[in-house]
Structure 1
Amino acid sequence: MKVLKFGGTSVGSSKNINSVIHILDNYSKEDTVICVVSAVGGITDKLLLAGTQAQNKDTNFLNTFNTIKEIHLDIINELNPNKSKDILVDVNEQLKTLKSLLDGIYLINELSPKTSDKLVSFGESLSSFIIAKTMKNRGLSARQKNSQHLIITNSNFTKAEVDFNITNSNIKGYFKSASQQITILPGFVANSNLGEQTTLGRGGSDFTAAIVAAALNVKQLEIWTDVSGMFTTNPKLVRQAYPIEKISYQEAMELSHFGAKVLYPPTVQPVLDLNIPIHIKNTLQPEAVGTVISNNASNATRPVKGISNISNVALLTLQGSGMVGIPGFSKRLFETLSQEKINIILITQASSEHSICLGIDESDSHAAKIAIDSAFENEIALKKIDPIIVETGLSIIALVGDNMKNHQGISGKMFSSLGKNNINIRAIAQGASEKNISAVIASNDVKKALNTLHEQFFETQTKQLNVFITGVGNVGERLVEQIKQQKNYLKENLKINLRIIGLSNSKTMIFNDQGIDLKTWKEKLAEGEKASLHGFFEKIKALNLRNSIFVDVTANKDVANLYENYLRQSIGVVACNKIACSNHYQNYSLLKRLSLKYNAPFLFETNVGAGLPIIDTLNNLIASGDKITSIQAVLSGSLNFVFNNFNETTKFHDVVKQAQAEGYTEPDPRIDLSGVDVARKILILARESGVKINLEDIENKPFLSEAGLKSNTVDDFYKTLIEDEAHYQGLFASAKTNNCQLKYVAEFDSGKASVGLQEIPVAHPFYNLKGSDNIVMFYTERYPEQPMIIKGAGAGADVTASGLFADIIRIGNN
């Protein structure tokens, strides 16, 4: 069973009604259909106008009545050119009754709420009857059922409250035995429990459809109108506005409350409790996707779902020093407006309690001022508060989105973008739920404001980076956590949407082309498929996502050998693995060329100084026309940590173990202590300086014992450290005697490079280097005597991860 509702514009002409009939005919071939219809477009307003004219003894009510009559008769004749006679008989009877009612209003000079409900009910009654009879004339199994026999309310005329127990029972009972394939119901109308005609208030036809859908617990309620769903903002004011495919109930209610005309908020309530989706469709474009409103709305990448506005707003400001700290002012203010039946649209109050601002409909502003000034007459006379201040010519604009609370800086972006466009904000309101951020502005700024905000939140191009990380051990895990922490910041501030699509360790790998959930990645990786370096590459290649970046957080030679494959597929490479860039010069040069040829970034800042911008600074010097003459550096954070913590009271073995445990050394500490790691680093700097040099060209002056150098395994190596403790104590004693510090220094000068342990005297810049810090001194043609110095933490999981992260961001910014 399907429930559809068609609004006034959908049944506003014979052409549109034919579209409605075609849609219902198609639906009825698969299921029974219940169709709720509004009055013909504009008829409800004309009925109210006729009633007001009659009440005011204005005989023009007869002209208005004749217009109503002609509209319906024309539609009947156009829909039923050869079979209109039987329809016209019944319609003319209804019109005769309507005319009598208007005559009565004219005679007694009164239009009560009860009579008003009876008057406006003719609109839906006529439209539903005409549509049902037309469908029957065309051979369809259709019947009109008067909603007044099903929906029972109290006697609160013009906005009656539904008795759901009786109503639900009536609806279930009727449709359990109904035999027709299509049932046409008039929307908006109902009967009181005393048998009097009532209406459900503004948006009543939507409400009728929701009541029926909830009573029958259908799978979906469809509301057909003249637009293709709920738009990101008013398409009449913003040409770039587009339909929102999925939205939550709460977001839909917020947008509807703040001006979106497609849906009236109370409509949502009957289906909300039962989680029945509402699908908004376009009668004139039935193939359009429309908008689905449900509890399962997809969390889009944009935190803001829509931008809405309310026009003709007046801002009331009650202020005065006598309000501060005195309870009861707000209560009296709200009660005063409630007694006048004035609806409050927006409320804001400063923490100082010096003022309260209220947004109301501009048409109520005069009555509101009189009532409030009267209620606070004594306080105004005593100068405790000022007379109420009323500002008109205002509108409210609102950002709406369930997910705004998870994104920092939404309100800042909103107000900043408005300010840059010279749009003054008169008042601001934001609830703790952060589903809505509202601002009061001048009405003549609305179009500019909507376009500004739509451009800011829906049109700004955000660069999406799709990241694949292999090696999620100590450093890799920190990188993932840093990305998780900064994900929203990157979106909001750098316009980078960074998604981790693939992760791999030595055992398993996982992929998700929509982005891996970084809250549960460890659990998912543990259950992933078997890891394969080639398989990882093939999967990235197959996904073929734009702005793909492969991040190597290993020290694996086989991984480094795959860089060429990635670059040839225009997949960027970010590496802390030094093997590729310290391999044969020919291989290094090839990777650089492939990076340029395939427009695939190849960044390896962490190869030298973890998170320090050493390579970036070097490249900037060369790019600006400078030339490197020599480099002096302490490039091993691990060795610096070791020699800063080693002395006559400690054992060299214990310090090295500590360095490894804290993540300062490679998994195999021999790489660091043998000087190979430092040699690779100075080699990379020399190559980036423009020198063709290989690792074997670098002079390595080892400080390890002969046994340590010849050890075959890590365990054997640690044994030699214990056995050769005297050797290392001798190195320390020599330095101490000469009042020096031990530092492992890398040097590059005149095309030659060397690495080795040196005794650094007190006056040297390296002498006071603490902890795991690195230092690099660039001597250039512009810095011939006083070098450019870069100094800071050069080892550790967090800083290495931050260096990798910085390279990823560099790619995003380019």
Structure 2
Amino acid sequence: MKVLKFGGSSVASSENIENVLAIVAKESKNEKVVIVVSAFGKTTDKLLAAANEAIVDINIAKNTLETIKNLHFEIIENLITKDMDVVSKEVFDLFKRLNSIYEGIFLLQELSDKTLAKVASFGERLSSFIIANAAKETLNASHKESRDLIITNNNHLNAQVNFKISNENITTYFNNNNNQVVILGGFIASNSSKETTTLGRGGSDFTASIYAAALDANELQIWTDVSGMYTANPRIVKQAFPISEISYEEAMELSHFGAKVLYPPTIQPSLRKEIPIRIKNTFDPENSGTLISKNPKNNNGVKGISHIEDISLITLEGGGMIGIPGFSKRLFETLSQEKINVVFITQASSEHSICVGVYENDALKSKELLEETFSIEITRKKIKPIIVESNLAIIAVVGESMKNHQGLSGQMFSALGRNNVNVRAIAQGSSEKNISAVINKYDAKKALTTLHEQFFEEKTKQLNLFVTGVGNVGERFLAQINQQKKFLKENLKLKIKVIGIANSKKMFFDESGINLKNWKEALNNGEPTSLDSFYNKVKACNLVNSVFVDNTANKEVSEIYEKYLRESISVVTCNKIACASSFNNYKTLKEVSRKYNASFLFETNVGAGLPIIDTLKNLINSGDRIHKIQAVLSGSLNFVFNNFDEDATFHDVVAEAQKEGYTEPDPKIDLSGVDVARKILILARESGYNLELEDITNNSFLLEESLATSNNKDFYDSLIKNETHFQHIFQEANDKECRLKYVAEFENGKANVGLQHISADHPFYNLEGSDNIVLFFTERYPENPLIIKGAGAGADVTASGIFADVIRIANQ
């Protein structure tokens, strides 16, 4: 038997409910299933809002109730065909009862917890009844009231379950029930007097867990609108991804610290019975989601990062506390008696202070209570007046096996420090499942993105290099390493060794480090090479801190990055093909990089040595959001159109650009706009957007004849043949007193590249030589963009960009 719980978003409309019923039909083919449903959409919130409105104005409450009623009858009309009259009458009677309750609230001018619980219960009573009747039309299904089965104490709004009686009720009922599907409402229960109670925050999840434990279910499934528990809140951290497997304890830690897909009480009944819990997406049912179990398969260090906002720190401090027992007891008793939840605790080893975190709306009350409790000590100046700090957040790094991974605390606080996030307090349990820190609420988003990058994105240090491609860029790269060897050792304490080099014909390896003064001679005397043989040699070396450096523009080379990353070998590349390939491949490379602790860096994919991608990452990681990108991203095209006029032939200018090393080996890649399209695609993806190369609108200025050529000779011949076409393009811009620039633009999830007429007042007008320029319009730079400008092509600057990426890895 399985228990499936569907949340409010899963049953918010008739279309969504049809998805739910399709899932139920599939899950119930081979075994009985218990279905627990929440109220439709935000119905419970609206019901409670109407109850509060009823005290002020009964007519406003009735208008709200009418809106709720219309939604329910619309769903009935769309889903029910066989017994519509019976279902409609029952639902009508429930709304009539609700109306009477609201009128009572208005007349008595009183709204007790008992009444609030009764009002709140109608959401699940209505949804479960309607969904059950819709299910009956195609499935062997029945409906049962949870209030008849789950018995609680008299706390109407946050009731404690009597598991002994509830479990007996549940097992008795289901032993006598022969239906394949039983549908019940979550969140609601009753006390021994048959009065309605509710189970509080996350009550529907809790209800499902109660049923799963009582029935010894094979699995508890929580169906929601996301595909599992994420490494961080995906609404804040765009790079966050679902966790495939996680332990009960890790799930509880993450949910305690704000992972809203699951609430901590949900886990307890299932944890006691060791029943697996799976978080699944109603709108993507084939996705495996997150499995919560006793022994998850992937148990590697940090599992997730979560946070709670609106926290206040309350500090009890003073020399009079040292060596005197009882201060902690009195503090926690005072807060406990008033039902104030403590979410964070830390105490100095000197016993000089105790610091606790509470929710901000409890802070003032907590301060008053504690000042009363410790009034004598405060008056006698044995302790200081209670200190309250507000506008804080708690950020937590969670992972059950963190204790087996050295240095995680150091990584966490170093990353926060580098990004100017001040830590106010720290707590780490002896089990080391969680490291939590209190920070300024303002820094919460920045801290989340920073820590996610630290623990789930590029991070591995690498110092042993394996270089493929030693032409223009590769040769200068090796020269720069040789030139800076002494500086790196003395100033950065880094020793970078080149262990292997290769071109298309030969490869050479020396595990002690290749002498970069005579590497050409060594390579000439090397052995025959292939992509596989080079990879196998790198793998056989099995050196720590290994980096594969790709200085080619070769598609086949780009296709083996994943193999290196899976061996924990980092990849640095100026080759754009991988990052501009299918989004799935780009995403896979990122994921594999994280999984195997191997960096994947490609700063030179855009702007050669300019810090364009690095700047973009820093913007995103610090919480900024990209609105628009405008850029001239082709040094070769900028060189071409800066030098092309009526006195020069287009063919000769392009040939000169290739001679100077500005173009790709195949200049058509640059002139067709494909190279620029790849660059803006990479910037869009790094901004968090899912785009493919074919999504980029390419307004090419080349004629079809040039685009159709298959080799450089034919391509250059086509340029000579169509010189008139290019002169016309120049003259048209010249007549308008404009300059020609090949511009890439990204805005509102769409991108395009093409030749544009740039007037004298535009930032692109005076872009000289082979320079690139990028304008980032963001939330922080909405009108005056952040501008990056400089040499964007050429072997030296490209080599320096690759070198910078290697140093980034070494310094991580």
Question: TM-score by structure 2 length?
Answer: 0.58
Whole-angstrom CA distance in 1 between matches of 2:328 and 2:56: 39
Q: Which residue of 2 aligns with 1:7?
A: 7
Q: Which residue of 2 aligns with 1:219?
A: 218
Q: Which residue of 2 aligns with 1:132?
A: 132
Whole-angstrom CA distance in 2 between matches of 1:65 and 1:263: 29
**Cα 1:142–1:602 shift into 2, 3 Å:** closer
Q: Is the 8 A contact 1:574 1:602 kept in 2?
A: no
Whole-angstrom CA distance in 2 between matches of 1:254 and 1:206: 16
Identify which of 420, 425, 428 aligns with 1:427: 425
Q: Which residue of 1 aligns with 2:167?
A: 168
Corresponding letter in the other structure for 2:293: S
Whole-angstrom CA distance in 2 between matches of 1:76 and 1:591: 77
**Cα 1:14–1:111 shift into 2, 3 Å:** same
Q: Is the 8 A contact 1:569 1:598 kept in 2?
A: no
Q: Is the 8 A contact 1:570 1:598 kept in 2?
A: no
**Cα 1:369–1:59 shift into 2, 3 Å:** farther
Q: Which residue of 2 aligns with 1:237?
A: 236
State whether structure 2 residue 273 is matched by structure 1 residue 255: no
State whether structure 2 residue 193 is matched by structure 1 residue 194: yes
Q: Which residue of 2 aligns with 1:61?
A: 61
State whether structure 2 residue 92 is matched by structure 1 residue 96: no
Matches within 5 A, 1:76-475: 76-80=76-80, 84-136=84-136, 138-301=137-300, 303-462=301-460
Q: Which residue of 2 aligns with 1:34?
A: 34
Q: Per-residue deviation at 1:598? A: 4.9
Corresponding letter in the other structure for 1:251: E
Deviations 1:605-639 (A, max 9, x none): x9xxxxxxxxxxxxxxxxxxxxxxxxxxxxxxxxx
Q: Per-residue deviation at 1:325? A: 2.1
Whole-angstrom CA distance in 2 between matches of 1:158 and 1:331: 28
Over the aligned positions, Cα root-mean-square deviation in angstroms equals 3.6
Q: Secondary structure at the match of 2:393?
A: strand
Whole-angstrom CA distance in 1 between matches of 2:257 and 2:422: 19
Q: Secondary structure at the match of 2:302?
A: coil
Q: Per-residue deviation at 1:412? A: 0.8
Matches within 5 A, 1:45-60: 45-55=45-55, 60=60
Deviations 1:412-457 (A, max 9, x none): 1111100100111111111111111111111111111110000000
Corresponding letter in the other structure for 2:357: G
**Cα 1:595–1:18 shift into 2, 3 Å:** closer
Q: Secondary structure at the match of 1:9?
A: helix
Whole-angstrom CA distance in 2 between matches of 1:570 and 1:231: 43
Matches within 5 A, 1:602-621: none
Q: Per-residue deviation at 1:363? A: 0.9
Q: Secondary structure at the match of 1:427?
A: strand
Whole-angstrom CA distance in 2 between matches of 1:97 and 1:592: 87
Q: Per-residue deviation at 1:241? A: 0.2
**Cα 1:569–1:307 shift into 2, 3 Å:** farther
Whole-angstrom CA distance in 1 between matches of 2:273 and 2:377: 49
Q: Is the 8 A contact 1:573 1:601 kept in 2?
A: no
Q: Is the 8 A contact 1:426 1:441 kept in 2?
A: yes
**Cα 1:378–1:140 shift into 2, 3 Å:** same
Q: Is the 8 A contact 1:153 1:191 kept in 2?
A: yes
Q: Is the 8 A contact 1:572 1:601 kept in 2?
A: no
Corresponding letter in the other structure for 1:333: L
Question: TM-score by structure 1 length?
Answer: 0.58
Q: Secondary structure at the match of 2:21?
A: helix
Q: Is the 8 A contact 1:143 1:183 kept in 2?
A: yes
Whole-angstrom CA distance in 2 between matches of 1:245 and 1:104: 50
Corresponding letter in the other structure for 2:117: D
Q: Secondary structure at the match of 2:10?
A: coil
Corresponding letter in the other structure for 2:177: A
Whole-angstrom CA distance in 2 between matches of 1:87 and 1:156: 32
Whole-angstrom CA distance in 2 between matches of 1:596 and 1:8: 53
Corresponding letter in the other structure for 1:36: V
Q: Secondary structure at the match of 1:273?
A: helix
Q: Is the 8 A contact 1:571 1:600 kept in 2?
A: no
Deviations 1:764-788 (A, max 9, x none): xxxxxxxxxxxxxxxxxxxxxxxxx
Whole-angstrom CA distance in 2 between matches of 1:116 and 1:169: 28
Q: Per-residue deviation at 1:398? A: 0.3
The size of the alignment, in residue pairs, is 506
Deviations 1:628-673 (A, max 9, x none): xxxxxxxxxxxxxxxxxxxxxxxxxxxxxxxxxxxxxxxxxxxxxx
Whole-angstrom CA distance in 1 between matches of 2:455 and 2:185: 40
Deviations 1:295-351 (A, max 9, x none): 1212344x1000000011111122222222222221111111112211001011111
Whole-angstrom CA distance in 2 between matches of 1:239 and 1:596: 34
Q: Secondary structure at the match of 2:155?
A: coil
Q: Per-residue deviation at 1:401? A: 0.3
Q: Secondary structure at the match of 2:133?
A: helix
Whole-angstrom CA distance in 1 between matches of 2:79 and 2:322: 67
Q: Secondary structure at the match of 1:393?
A: strand
Corresponding letter in the other structure for 2:324: I
Whole-angstrom CA distance in 1 between matches of 2:365 and 2:100: 35
Q: Is the 8 A contact 1:299 1:403 kept in 2?
A: no
Q: Is the 8 A contact 1:4 1:224 kept in 2?
A: yes
Q: Which residue of 2 aligns with 1:73?
A: 73
Q: Is the 8 A contact 2:319 2:383 kept in 1?
A: yes
**Cα 1:294–1:58 shift into 2, 3 Å:** same
Deviations 1:462-512 (A, max 9, x none): 4899xxxxxxxxxxxxxxxxxxxxxxxxxxxx99xxxxxxxxxxxxxxxxx
Instruction: Note the residue ranges of structure 1 that are not aligned, 5 or more in a row.
Output: 466-493, 496-548, 551-567, 576-585, 607-809
Whole-angstrom CA distance in 2 between matches of 1:572 and 1:587: 9
Q: Secondary structure at the match of 1:292?
A: strand
Identity of aligned residues (%): 56
Q: Is the 8 A contact 1:250 1:402 kept in 2?
A: yes
Q: Secondary structure at the match of 2:324?
A: coil
Whole-angstrom CA distance in 2 between matches of 1:402 and 1:571: 44
Q: Per-residue deviation at 1:402? A: 0.2
Deviations 1:145-167 (A, max 9, x none): 11111112222322222222222
Q: Secondary structure at the match of 2:384?
A: coil
Q: Is the 8 A contact 2:506 2:526 kept in 1?
A: no
> Whose Rg is larger?
1
Whole-angstrom CA distance in 1 between matches of 2:335 and 2:264: 22
**Cα 1:29–1:602 shift into 2, 3 Å:** closer
Q: Is the 8 A contact 2:144 2:183 kept in 1?
A: yes
Whole-angstrom CA distance in 1 between matches of 2:267 and 2:507: 49
**Cα 1:85–1:330 shift into 2, 3 Å:** same
Whole-angstrom CA distance in 2 between matches of 1:227 and 1:193: 37
Q: Per-residue deviation at 1:77? A: 2.2
Q: Secondary structure at the match of 2:11?
A: coil
Whole-angstrom CA distance in 1 between matches of 2:523 and 2:439: 59
Q: Per-residue deviation at 1:591? A: 6.3
**Cα 1:140–1:319 shift into 2, 3 Å:** same
Q: Per-residue deviation at 1:12? A: 1.2
Matches within 5 A, 1:659-738: none
Q: Which residue of 2 aligns with 1:44?
A: 44
**Cα 1:149–1:351 shift into 2, 3 Å:** same
Deviations 1:684-716 (A, max 9, x none): xxxxxxxxxxxxxxxxxxxxxxxxxxxxxxxxx
Matches within 5 A, 1:487-526: none
Whole-angstrom CA distance in 1 between matches of 2:256 and 2:532: 54
Q: Secondary structure at the match of 1:372?
A: helix
Q: Is the 8 A contact 1:246 1:293 kept in 2?
A: yes
Whole-angstrom CA distance in 1 between matches of 2:147 and 2:28: 24
Corresponding letter in the other structure for 1:435: K
